[in-house]
Amino acid sequence: MRINLPETDQKRIVIIGGGFGGLKLARSLRNSGYMIVLVDKNNYHQFQPLFYQVATAGLEPSSIVYPLRKMFQKSRHVYIRVTEVTEIDPAKNRVHTKMGILNYDHLVLATGADTNFFGNQDFAKNVIPMKSVSEALYLRNALFSDYENALTSSDPEEKQAYLDIVIVGGGPTGVEVAGALAEMRKNILPKDYPELDCSEIDIHLVQGGPTLLAGMSDEASAAALKYLTGLGVQVELNARVTGYDGEHLLMKDGTQLAAKKVIWAAGIKGNTLPGLPEAAYAPGNRLKVNRFHQVEGFENIYAIGDLARMPEEKYPDGHPQVAQVAIQQADNLARNFILQKKGKPPQAFSYKDLGSMATIGRNRAVVDLPYWKFQGAFAWVVWLFVHLLQLIGFKNKVFVFLNWVWNYFTYDQSLRLIIKPRVKR
């Protein structure tokens, strides 16, 4: 069965993935004369940099998602299909989905990345990842459910396990989650749970390498460590984890950490799709692409964003897996599709690093710009401003801004709800 689409003489570009790269590409090509088909398993775009604020009850999920169809309401040649892709058939220029078969003239893979458990099934089964809004909500539920359980536990060891939190991974996600949880422990939990001694809540940030924020400057790494330790986070560097059974996190040196919650922010890998040869993949499940975004061995299949591994002189192992890379690659690929339509040669992609940043709670952030590195309160304001601008939708911008202002002056939010989906029997 084929997916129902209008029959036209337009060349059809099928984009798989509605993340930063796929969405930017579709928006750039909506009036280009191509038929654009955007395929995603969700009917909304997710703003990943703020997942941690949903997980720590700082924002509602609706504030950081945006409906795909609303974005293209006035675009006649953009079609949204909400389904999962099951296989690619390059020989026949078609994609198999749970909804049916979808033919293409050009296929763009922008499926992003998922959590990397490095082949450890204990981690995959027991830890809490945070690569989607639903996973962020799951973490929020787990946090507050465990505090409710701690109130009724009579076993001191069990109670402590409910209270303590372990975060594995010292990149931006791990650092931001740790900072948010530390501020929640200080400002929110004592008011909500006066029967608990919130000073007993231990927050551990476990990093396998010698520094935090390994992709940023030494100044940023040192500042992040200073801010987190100042907030009472127990940062453990050069500490590798080997297993987790749901009760105890096992370390390489033989030590254990008792915790019923382990948040996994330690690695990512590309979201692969069956149908492409093994030779097209690089380490980390990333697809090998040339400077024109074409997947190795194919002229009409492209990959952008976290999924693409494009060697460049400054980036011999591929670009960093961040939103700016996906957005810039989408811009360049859209330009090349338009050039192709005009019979002109494509332009090779070159990444322009606009900088990196991370926040570690109120008035604490680190910013690395190409020619300027700074930390502290001003960096925190810059972080807020940049992320507010990047949000899609005016209403989302307003709601997030109001939430931030309210939280800043009141040290409180009323979003600490345990919302469990009903399971249909």
| Type of residue at 240 | R
Calpha distance 406→413 (Å, rounded): 8
Calpha distance 308→246 (Å, rounded): 34
> Which member of 87, 148, 176, 299 is catalytic?
176
| Type of residue at 149 | N
CA angle, residues 124, 233, 184, in degrees to nearest 5: 85
Calpha distance 294→310 (Å, rounded): 10
Tell me 131's DSSP state.
S
Per the annotation, the verdict on 200 as an active-site residue is: no
Q: Provide CB contacts within 8 A for 1, sequence distance 6+.
A: 100, 101
| Helices of type H across 242-305 | none
- Scan for tokens 């002056």, then name that residue: 409
**What is the CB-side half-sphere exposure of residue 52 using CA atoms within 13 A?**
23
Torsion, Cα 373 374 380 383, to 10 degrees, reads: -10
DSSP 7-37: --SS-EEEEE--SHHHHHHHHHHTTSSSEEE
H or E element in which residue 181 lies: helix 172-187
| Helices of type H across 188-295 | 189-192, 218-230
Contact criterion met (CB below 8 Å) for 161 and 247 = yes
Active site residues: 176
